[in-house]
Amino acid sequence: MVSQLDSLKKFSSVVADTGDIDSIQKFNPDDCTTNPSLIFKAVQSDKYKKLVDEVISNSKSRKFSQTEDQVNYIADQLTIAFGIELTKIVPGYVSTEVDSDLSFNTEATVEKAKQIINSYEQSGIPKNRILIKIAGTWEGIQAVKKLEAEGISCNCTLIFSLTQAIACAEAGAFLISPFVGRILDWFKSNTQKDYDSSNDPGVESVEKIFNYFKKFNYNTIVMAASFRNKDEIINLAGCDKLTISPTLLEELSQNDDEIKLKLSKENNQSFNITYGNARTLLDAAQTIVKITNSKSKIVDTGRNSLYPDRGTLNIDKARQLVNYKPTMSLENGLESYYGWLQNKI
Ligand code: E4P
């Protein structure tokens, strides 16, 4: 049987989200992403002691005005040292993150990005193998704009909304990393609701961004990141790239349940009824009538000024009436809706 990981690779480019060089070889990812907490986790393992000792010892031959500068230097060099090793394992890109303390300083971010690229180049790694990971703050996005204009490709990270994603794409970001798990974490701790794979707000955020980008032909790659469980990944099959931790890569490789394509440019275009000229619910309803060859006549009676509530849509009630299931595709949903209507006739 084909593993879920292998099936997933038919729909999306699979990326390893780790600093643990040894743990990913067997999964053959296309690219690799790192961040400071992943590198911190990796440096604590005895496996990488030699690498860490080397970087610390090299730093001793330099002069620093204060210890903090030396620590920052070591942290940068360690990130790059891990990045260099990762370029030997993956054929594609390695993402290296700029210190998040610089997230609100455009100039400092640009300077740090150039230093990182310089260090890689001095070690023989060309800049076309590296993506500079920059937080999607306003200042970060301005830095991305400058760097992309100078031929340095960026991975705009910590993307939590469509607005942020569009700003990155307009700035010419090579790639964005919309987060899934961090959104779910927030909703879990700030609402009283239960979340599962049918209503995961992190997954919904990525779907929205992906569909928007494909609809409006943005070239920026969408790489979903920050996963908390395997279902989140499976529900985004078809996203341009998915960056996945070694633990979840392992889970996917051990399971052979079927995976279906969830996101695609084609699906998005054929089912899109509210873009283009259709702007109101009435427009959308007319589009549905047209594409389903229905003989219905759409009328808009507007709000009744005496009974204002009568004109108000009650989405929950409408869903109940048509037996709405969030996991159902639009195609199947329409089919079951027609079935339901037939029973009423
Ligand atoms: C990847 O690029 C991100 O840094 C990573 O997926 C974040 O994951 P987290 O939310 O588990 O920290």
Q: By alpha-carbon position, which residue is closest to atom 5 of ligand 1?
A: 226
Task: Name the maximum alpha-carbon separation found in the chain.
Answer: 85
Report the alpha-carbon distance of residue 206 to residue 162 in Å, rounded: 8
Phi first, then psi: give them for residue 15, nearest 5 degrees. -120, 145
Other Cβ atoms within 10 Å of 303 Cβ, number: 11
Q: What is the pTM of this model?
A: 0.78
- Coil vs helix vs strand at 94: strand
Phi first, then psi: give them for residue 4, nearest 5 degrees. -60, -35
Compute the distance from residue 42 Cα to the ligand 1 centre, in Å: 15
Other Cβ atoms within 10 Å of 127 Cβ, number: 16
Compute the distance from residue 135 Cα to the ligand 1 centre, in Å: 12
Q: By alpha-carbon position, which residue is closest to atom 12 of ligand 1?
A: 226
Report the alpha-carbon distance of residue 54 to residue 321 in Å, rounded: 67
Among left, alpha and beta (phi > 0; psi -120 to 50; other), residue 28 is left
Contact 221, 195 (CB under 8 A): no
H-type alpha helices, 29-105: 36-43, 49-59, 67-89
| pLDDT tens-digit series, residues 234-285 | 999 999 999 999 999 999 999 999 999 999 987 655 445 454 554 566 666 6
Contact 43, 76 (CB under 8 A): no
Burial 325-339 (b: 16+ CB within 10 A, else e): eeeeeeeebbeebee
Contact 14, 225 (CB under 8 A): no
In the structure, which protein residues have their CB atom closer than 6 angstroms to any atom of ligand 1?
17, 33, 35, 157, 177, 179, 181-182, 225-226, 243
Which residue is listed with tokens 């990326």? 15
Catalytic residue at 208?
Answer: no
- Which residues on neighbouring strands pair with residue 220, listed in sequence order? none
Compute the distance from residue 102 Cα to the ligand 1 centre, in Å: 18
Which residue is listed with tokens 């009650």? 314
pLDDT, tens digit only, all 345 positions of the chain: 899 999 999 999 999 999 999 889 999 999 999 998 999 999 999 999 999 999 999 999 999 999 999 999 999 999 999 999 999 999 999 999 999 999 999 999 999 999 999 999 999 999 999 999 999 999 999 999 999 999 999 999 999 999 999 999 999 999 999 999 999 999 999 999 999 988 999 999 999 999 999 988 999 999 999 999 999 999 999 999 999 999 999 999 999 999 999 999 876 554 454 545 545 666 666 666 665 666 666 665 555 555 544 444 555 666 666 666 666 665 666 667 667 666 766
Query: 133, 145, 230, 262: which is the annotated catalytic residue?
Result: 133
